[in-house]
A and B are shown apart, each in its own frame.
Chain A
Amino acid sequence: MNEIDKLLNDYFEGLTSIEEEKRLKQYFESDRVKPEHRMYKTLFAAFSQEREWTSPPARLPRESKRKPFNLKLWIPLSGAVAACGLLLFFTTPFSRFQKPDYVVIVNGRHITNAREARCYADRMFFEAEKEMKESFRPVIRARQITQNMDADKIFEGVHKSITDRQTQEK
């Protein structure tokens, strides 16, 4: 039994390796196929022909630029948002309705912050002082005019100047 007969026997028993089968294919594709083997030539030719069958081009949908919905990311994220919402809901309303410990009324305004109350009070005092000064200015001026227009002082001055001249003439 020659090598090809042995390979063919093994082939039909399903015992040949890929390499041995390649040798068989090469043999049956060649011009030196023995007459007793010719009937198998078409079998190997058919396998070669089937190897030429190609698939149609695959049609893929366009890849969306938008990332697919990632459930693993969204579950903890939505949980965190819900927790923050609940925290705000339970903390903010209570603090809003609670009475503050410190309340000062400055110029009719309710202030709960001590620092703010002091600043506001200082500003109000400053403005009041300024207003008072401006409102008393005409009175001060009138007093000055009254003092300047005193008749005794005027006559005393005139008398003094006359006496000074008489003294000089003598």
Chain B
Amino acid sequence: MDAQQFQRQILCYSDKMYRMARSILLDESGAEDAFQDLVLRLWERRDQLDIIENKQAFSLTSMRNLCVDLLRKKLEYGGLTADIVSSAPDPQQELEEQDSLHNIHRLIDSLPELQRTIVRMKDVEEIEIREIAQILYMSENAVTVNLSRARKKLRDMIVTIQQSEEKQYERNR
């Protein structure tokens, strides 16, 4: 695989790979480093990439594996606490923030790693359940269950924020 083929067949998924890294690592600069690291690794093994049929699935699986390894190392060396991955934002605190889109990004980021990865693959990248299952080495049923749980959690958090906003509004009246 030469540079042009690499560009056409692998780097066309750059944005998806980067967004996945950003979703897993919850860190923009860390995601950029991880993305660059993966691109270099794939480039060094470009001769072996010809035989891979689904290059999107392969690229995204590689990205996720790399990011999960990075997360694990950070947790081992104390650079990241488990709270960051799973802590839900305080709805009251969220109310104080005016940027509702930013709040939604934070709500998604507050989901467990697997759930936020699945929900973003489906809703942002528009990847079919079958392919998500292939990328994550899971059954389609497991993907659907995790997707449903993630979306329901988001809905519940949005409803909670909505109700808090209404209470706040009535109090201020």
Contacts and interface: CB of A to CB of B under 8 A. Distances in A.
A binds B: yes
Interface of A: 11-15, 18, 21-22, 39-40, 42-43, 45-47, 49-51, 53-56, 58-61, 63, 68
Nearest to B32: A56
- The B interface, classified by DSSP as helix, strand, loop or mixed, is helix
Nearest to B147: A14
Contact of A55 (B35, B101, B122): B35
Contacts of A15: 144, 148
A43 to B, nearest CB: 6
A83 B145 CA distance: 64
A contacts with B: majority SS: helix
Chain B, interface size category, equals: 35 or more
A58 B11 contact: yes
Contacts of B101: 42, 45-46, 49
B143 to A, nearest CB: 8
Select the residue from A13, A49, A56 with max chain B CB neighbours within 10 A: A56
A60 B35 contact: no
B104 interface: yes
Given A15-B144, A39-B162, A56-B18, A50 B124 contact: yes
A13 B47 contact: no
A11 B32 CA distance: 31
Interface stretch (B49-57, B71-79, B81-89, B149-157): B149-157
A115 to B, nearest CB: 58
Interface in B145-171: 145, 147-148, 151-152, 154-155, 158-159, 162
Interface string B21-57: 0100000000010011001100100010000000000
28 contacts: A12-B148, A12-B151, A14-B143, A14-B144, A14-B145, A14-B147, A14-B151, A15-B148, A18-B128, A21-B122, A42-B101, A43-B104, A45-B101, A46-B105, A47-B123, A49-B105, A50-B19, A50-B120, A50-B124, A53-B18, A54-B14, A56-B32, A56-B35, A60-B39, A60-B43, A61-B43, A63-B3, A68-B47
